Structure 1
């Protein structure tokens, strides 16, 4: 039984897949093999990961927590990481010597959860093949990211409060001469700012998902519509104490701007007292620093 690559685009990853997939398919434990993500959506480019999925029998499922990646990928695998083993799915990140990345997802055949972009390469079980022609459900375990939800005013308001609380800690850290630690706090603030920008631009909240290319893509695509000089804010240099202070203040000004706009849009009270308190403490610190 051959594999169907006919729907895939002409890209370097597909040529590699045509070498790798038959080797994986030669293992009779693999009852179905399919593609998801950008290749399933027909939006892949030359740097897209290959989201490859396998369905295996329940009795053999745990074996796939630690497969022989060298054999599985015909000697092309140079590194891998197991992101999570769950009851119904296992996900491996695999780096090939070509520089290509594979997200190899393993599912139990009795708990098959397909993503809306699933495209079948091959299937040994007719009953299983039927699953690919029926309405599918999204499995967070094996699909990239989650759809956004309507912003909750309380959640957005708390996010702004969280920013100001985090920002208030900078004066303590700088006072104690722990300047490099400020960068850690700024990273937290960047994540909050990106989320606020995205809510403001799209009207959707993707939540506090683990930052990955998949989860950040819709947020980053949206910030150009609302963030002023977003890259300058996110990528401002922090090579010395003066630049650290300048970026702290720039983050604050941007959160104040977009935060007030969101408060008006979603009818919640902007935390004016919190901001004023943090700014007053900062001015007091600067007068003595």
Structure 2
């Protein structure tokens, strides 16, 4: 496969950039192979899809590709934003935003590194042995790696939720209301996870979440929980709205948590919940904390 194969690229605007970059790279003999991955290969890409571009070089050439001469690779467009991500000593990524608005994931790996299973479109390869490796193990990527829910993990997540939501009293009392927004975002992430578990019977890892990996989660929840956006997108512009969101999240978790406890056979932390709710009620009803308009007195 000494020649480039650019005849079957996706019929999308990104094709122009792919052709330009592949042609420029193939002039460098140390590039053993280059190929496409991601949604453009899976057939699910659109005009906003990243270009997932991979190359393989011999281990002795890897260091140079940590800071390549991008102006020689992107001859008709420029890089306006760049991030460098290292996954291992022989596997790293340049995440690039181009001046034409395209996102370009330029992944470099050693020819000796094990290949991740994914659909791929080989654009060029100078090694028959490496080409055979590229053609093997092309299992379709499922995005988020899901697994059966663990009762122990679900129980711990519910306990963590009620302990952490109890701290809203302390945060609000100390006039750190902006911190509530950060804490509530964590609660919303947990709500999304609980809804997905309840809707699909599967759980997922929270490590390295991306738009791609969360697509299945979001689509599943959107189909099964039509009011999810209203809850996750509720405004938090003042103290009253913060309180409403905190109480709404607790109501949803209380209902979902009991259903999950019954479904997966663990004890719901009822005593913990009751203590948190009782303390909260005392807090919001205290005239020493809130005035008659519901405004924190120390604000």
TM-score computed with the length of structure 2 as normaliser:
0.90
The 3 A distance-change label for structure 1 pair 7 and 275 is: farther
The alpha carbon displacement at 1:210 in A equals: 3.1
Contact 1:150 1:203 in 2 (8 A): yes
Q: Distance in 2 between matches of 1:16 and 1:145?
A: 25
Contact 1:84–1:91 (8 Å) recurs in 2: yes
Q: Root-mean-square deviation (CA), in Å? A: 1.8
Distance in 2 between the 1:169 and 1:188 partners? 13
1:192 to 183, 190, 195: 190
Greater Cα shift, 127-136 or 237-246: 127-136
2:193 and 2:273 mapped to 1: Cα distance? 19
Q: Give per-residue Cα distances to partners, 1:224-259, cap 9 Å, x unaligned.
A: 244351111111111101000000011111111222
Out of 175, 186, 197, the position equivalent to 1:177 is: 175
TM-score, with structure 1 as normaliser:
0.92
- Aligned partner (choices 227, 230, 241) of residue 229 of structure 1: 227
The structural deviation recorded for 1:132 is: 2.2
Equivalent in the alignment of 1:219: 217
Equivalent residue number for residue 5 of structure 1: 6
Gaps of 5+ in 2: 291-299
Is 210-219 or 264-273 further displaced after alignment? 210-219
Q: Is the Cα contact below 8 Å between 1:144 and 1:214 reproduced in 2?
A: no
Gaps of 5+ in 1: none
> Could you tell me how far 1:97 is from its partner in structure 2?
0.8
Equivalent residue, structure 2, for 1:20: 21
Q: Write out aligned runs for 1:1-289 (5 A).
A: 1-74=2-75, 75-136=77-138, 145-288=143-286, 289=290
How many residues are treated as equivalent by the alignment? 285
168-177 vs 12-21, greater mean Cα deviation: 12-21
